[in-house]
Every structure is written in structure tokens, then in C-alpha cells.
Chains A and B, each alone.
Chain A
Amino acid sequence: MGGFAKRHRAGTLGVVAALFAACLIAHDGLAYTAAGDRLFPATGILPQISPGDEFYTWGGTTPLAGGGAGARNRTSNFGAVWDKMITERLGIQVEDAWNRLDRRGATALNGFQNFETELKYLAIDDQLHEFLLTLGLNREWGGTGARRIGAARSGAFEPRLYFGKGLGDLDIGYWRPLAVTGQAGYQIGDTTTRPDLVTAGAVLEYSIPYLQSKVQSFDLPEIVRAMTPLTEVALTTPAGRSFGARTTVMVAPGVSYAGPGWEFLVEALLPATRATGALAGVRAQLHLSLDFLFPDTIGRPLFSER
């Protein structure tokens, strides 16, 4: 246990040092929620790749493979995130979610997941190359959720790295609206009984608003003009002792539809490993850009000259 605590402290200090170093090396970018004319739509099963003033909420449901009486046959999840900018580059996020587990021939189990917070710092924002890089430190607060739906008693820290890259700066014609975003993290459990996890994810997206405004404007139907088809892939795998945890991979193809200050995302949830599940589910998310809707009040960074 002493070794673990030492390792944990060293890891946390390393993350703090890395964040501090990033603050020092970050150059003076010109925007902070988009990379130039490239707007990355809000992701669904993966966290957002940069800090922002935003609120989003989602609901999703996935059937589970059969089993006898009392076996879980459906999981449903509803959650919300509030992101708040502290400065023009530093933001904090709070997140909570409510789960319901339906059981065959038995009453459903329900309750909240563990409460989560995350600090995010936008370290690089290269407008010309449509590239951004964000450092994050996520904290899952152990024991704040309901154990009956699987919330862990112990918490975890997770340093994360996010990136987004649009291909608009390349001479590739109608492929320029393509963009790739991603995330990688290492979740460090507070106790030895909670496995450490490697987390990773990637999104491939094709922005029709970008096509219309930066490549060529086609006479498309209104509803299509605001769409961004995308596919997310999220992975977790245990690092070191697994304590029964297995690799999970979820693939989520979907479509984001953007209006002024809001986005709506609907995705299919396709488990890609046995540990992830066996049947397809669905997820929908409404995302509000508070800095667009309330630019002079709750949409402003707490400390900013603006």
C-alpha cells in the first residue's frame, strides 16, 4: 500500500508538473474554442476536446444479452456536464450521470454514477493548421455514486491528452472537411483494489458546414447543410492487474446537427468486444454553447479582459 501511495503521489505530481510546463510553453493562440475556421462538433461517448462555456445533457439505452431471472437486460444512462471557462484557456468541468439497470423478472436498479470533475487547459491552438491540443486532469470522486449500479467506492485520477486536427489546410479537395480528434488517458485508482486503466478514443468526422463555407457551396437541403456525420471509437483496457476488468471497445457512428448555439447528436452504440456488450444501443445528446447564447453573462470566462 505504501508503494502504491508513493507511486500515486509521484504520478499526480508528474501531471501537475506537465500542466505547469504546458502553461509555460503555450504560444499565444488566437482562438480557444475552435482551431481557426475549423469547428469541432461536440462528441458523444468521448469527452470534449477543449475547455469551453457549455452545458450538455444526454440519454442513452443499450439492451444487454439475456440470462435467467434477475439478469440485467437493459442499461440506460442519463447525464449532464457543465463546462466553465476560468480564463481564456483554462476550464473546469463537472459531470454526473444517472443509471438504470433493468432486470429480467426483477425490479430495476437505479442511482447516480460517481461525480466527476476535470480541469482542462488548451495548450496549443494553431489556427492555420486547424490543430489544437488540450491537457486534462479528470477526477472521479469515489463513493459519491450508488454501488448498486456499479459506482466504485474508491475514486481515480486520470491525466488526459486531447487533440483535434482538421484537414482543411491540405490540398485534398472535397476531403478537406474531414477532421480527426482524439483522446488518451491513464486512469489511476485511489486504492489497490481498483484497476488502473488506459483510456483512448478517436473520432473521424466530415463537416458539411465546412464543405459549404470553405470548399464549395452546394445547393443542399437545409437540414443537410448543418450536419456533421461522425464515428467515435472509445477504448478502455486494464493496465497491470486487471481485477476482473476487461478491454472494452465501443463504436458509435452518428450525426451531429448544429444550430445557432446548440448541437444535437444522435449515435448508435455498437459494442465491439464481448466485455462491452452484445447488442446495439442508441444515444442522443443536446449541447448548448453558453458563450454563444449568453456571451455577456454566464458564457464569459471568470477571469478575462473580454
Chain B
Amino acid sequence: MRLGTLSLGLRFWLAALTILLLFPGVVAAAPAGTVVGLNGECFVESGGARSPLKLGQAVQVSDTVDVPASGKLKLRMSDGSVISVAAGSRMTISTYGVNAAGQRENAHLALGQGLLRAVVAPGDRPGSFEVDTAVGAAAVRSTDWFVEVSGGAMQVGVLTGSVDMSSRATGRRITIPAHWGARLEAGRDPVPPRTWSQAEFDAVIARTNVQ
């Protein structure tokens, strides 16, 4: 069969397939989220380029957002989850997959340093939203919580729902319920959780509150 005899529809699909094979980044370019709140100047590092973020701008998988000491950032992700990033934080969107219904299938964020608050929309399976740090990981299904990385340790505080925090070094895992929090230091088991006072929650809420 000569190419000239191909139907229009078949030509279109062949062209689409060629583009997919040659430029796979086009597929991954579906936005993982959108900037819905911004205080001060925040940046995104994408494909080796660093540029200032603007309200309404899309962020993609593999982007790193850099929130300097004078800034705060709020993102609405493609599954409806809202992530507030405090000043002095650096976070990479490692993966963020949603299905056709807009439900999250798999989300991984990497928090290099700083504090973020995640109001996580319900996913279709447990642990589908995970924040990785140098010392451990915290996984949730649907909750409102905080994770902070500082000085070789991470800590998690949970407002609603529950969070599983695990140590990268020992593999030990704890579950942190609502109103509780826990720390994890590098190379060790997680510290058993304890209740957090309202003052402690107020402090992290204030740090992640984007006007």
C-alpha cells in the first residue's frame, strides 16, 4: 500500500504516533498544577532554566519550585489538592498522575528543605500522595497536614486524617493521627508521635498561609 492511498484518519494517527515517539516530553507536559497564590518572588526551575513564577502559571512534573525567604507559594494541583509552600522551601514535583476522572493515581513530591502544607484531595488508593525527603517519606490518602525538612530531620503534623511516616534508613514506619505530630532524624527510627498543641499548628499555619 502506497502512502498516498492512506486515508486521512490513518495519516493523522501515524503523525501523532511519530510526534509521540520523537517528542515524549510533549506528553509529560500536561500541567501538574497551577499557581493560585503568591507572596513575594518565587521561582520555578524547569528544564535547566530558572524563571519567576506568576499567578495562574502552570507547573509541570519534574519542575522544582524555589520559595526564597521573602516568599510564599500556593499551588492547586490537577487532582484538586492544594499545596502551600512556606518561605525558605524547595520542592520538586517528581510525579503527578491523574486518571481520566481527574482522580490522583500517583503523586510524589520531593521536599529538599523548608515547610509545606498539603490539603490532599481524596485519591483512589491509600498512600497515593507521598512527600519524599532526604531522611524519609510521608504518605497519605486524604488529609490536611504539614511536613518540614530542617537540619537533617523531618517532622510531620496532621490536622485531619492520618499520615504514615517512614525512615529511609531503617524502614520503620509510624502512623500519625489527627492533631498529632512526629519527627524523624537522619539514620534513625521515627520518634513516636505526640499530640501537637494548637500553638504548634498555629505556627505552621501562619508560615504557610498565602495571602
In-complex Cβ contact of A300 among B174, B179, B184, B194 (8 A): B179
Are B198 and A217 within 8 A (Cβ)?
Answer: no
Chain A interface mostly: loop
Given A37-B183, A260-B174; A213-B188 close (CB under 8 Å) = yes
The complex places the Cα of A284 from the Cα of B189 at a distance, in Å, of 28
Interface positions of B (Cβ within 8 A of A) = 160, 167, 169-170, 172, 174-175, 177-180, 183-185, 187-201
Scoring A residues 215 to 238 as 1 if CB is less than 8 Å from chain B, else 0, what string do you get?
111000000010000000000000
Which of under 10, 10 to 19, 20 to 34, or 35 or more describes the interface residues of A?
20 to 34
In A285-305, the 8 Å CB interface with B consists of: 291-293, 295-296, 300, 304-305
Complex CA–CA separation, A215 to B189 (angstroms): 10
- Say yes or no: is A39 at the interface (Cβ < 8 Å to chain B): yes
Q: For chain A residues 256-306, which have a beta carbon within 8 Å of chain B? A: 258, 260, 291-293, 295-296, 300, 304-306
Report Cα–Cα, A214/B192, bound state, in Å: 10
What distance in Å separates the Cβ of A127 from its nearest Cβ neighbour in chain B? 9
- Closest chain A residue, CB of each to CB of B158: A295
Q: A37-B183, A213-B188, A214-B185 are in contact. Are A305 and B198 (CB under 8 A)?
A: yes
- How many cross-chain pairs have Cβ atoms below 8 Å apart between A and B? 76
- For residue A76, which residues in chain B have a CB less than 8 angstroms away from its CB? none
Asked if residues A306 and B198 are in contact (CB atoms below 8 Å), the reply is yes
- In the assembled complex, the Cα of A214 lies from the Cα of B188 at a distance in Å of 7
> Are B189 and A209 touching (Cβ within 8 A)?
yes
For A216, the chain B residues whose CB sits under 8 A away are 188
Of B169, B187, B192, which is in contact with the most chain A CB atoms at under 10 Å from its CB? B192
Within residues 165 to 217 of chain A, which ones have a CB less than 8 A from any CB in chain B? Answer: 209-210, 212-217
Would you list 9 pairs from A and B whose C-beta atoms are within 8 A, ordered by A residue?
A: A30-B200, A32-B195, A33-B195, A37-B191, A210-B191, A217-B170, A291-B180, A296-B160, A306-B198
